[in-house]
Structure formats: structure tokens, C-alpha cells
Amino acid sequence: MKTVRTALPLLCLVTFACLGAESGSVPLRGKLSMQAGQSPTIVRNGESIKLEGDEPTLKVLNDERLGGADLEVMGRFISKDRFAVDHTHTKPVFTYRDGKRLQVTYWCDVCYIRTYSPGKCWCCQKNVDLDPIEPEA
């Protein structure tokens, strides 16, 4: 029976990894603050927490249209004042408007294409519009 007992935890680990390895994510909510040449930060209770993430996520967090927004990111603390945001494919960035939690997305109204990172539409090259939506159930 020894093999079964050792194999089970391993199986769990593999399953979590397949789900995106983001199972230990926690939300961090605060005011998004950005300064040129520096990592974006979330200011919560007077404390600045530096945000790290993959390139598409950092593009969102450096989007000046979101400056000062009531933002929530999913991820984990690396240290007391550093927070690693989950990978962009897990759609980890939210904003609050009128008390509603909305997913930060971008929309090309020419091609009707939704993306999760700002910049040019891959189809028509138009700059996509910031378009927070209610998350899918």
C-alpha cells in the first residue's frame, strides 16, 4: 500500500498544476498607482505594495486609464510589500465601479474582439478600448 499513499499527494499536485497552479491565490484590493519607470503599486491602508506579473498583466497595470482606480488583483505576496499577480490567462485583474466588481478587459469595436491587455488590436491595429465587464459566472 506504500506506493498508493505516496502517489496520491503527487496526483493532487499534478491536478493543481493543470488548473493553472493559482490555487493559492489571494485578492489584493486598493488604489492603483503608477509612476514612469517604476513598478505599478497598489496602495492599501496607506501602504504601497509593488506589483509584479507577466508582460500582458503589467501592460494592464501600467494602463494610465486605470490610474487611481479601485483595483483588485489575484495573486500572492512574495514579501510584505511585493505581490506577484497571477498569469494573464487566469484574468487576474478587476476594478470596482459603483460597488460592482468588474473584470478588466479591452474591446475592439471594429472587429468585435475582446482581449485582456491594452495595445493594438491584432486584427485591425486599432488601439483597443478599456472595457470592464461583469465576470462570466
| List of residues contacting Zn ion (CB under 5 A) | 108, 110-111, 121, 123-124, 126
CA triple 78-84-86, angle to 5 deg: 140
Q: Nearer to Zn ion by C-beta: 97 or 126?
A: 126
Cβ at position 2, least distance to Zn ion in Å: 58
Q: Nearer to Zn ion by C-beta: 32 or 121?
A: 121
Q: Nearer to Zn ion by C-beta: 19 or 110?
A: 110
Distance CA 50, CA 42 (A): 7
**Nearest-CB residue to Zn ion?**
121
Give the closest residue to 75 by CA, choosing from 134, 29, 135, 18: 29
Residue 137: partners with Cβ closer than 8 Å, 6 or more residues away: none
Cβ at position 126, least distance to Zn ion in Å: 5
Cβ at position 58, least distance to Zn ion in Å: 22
Question: Do 66 and 60 form a contact (C-beta atoms < 8 A)?
Answer: yes
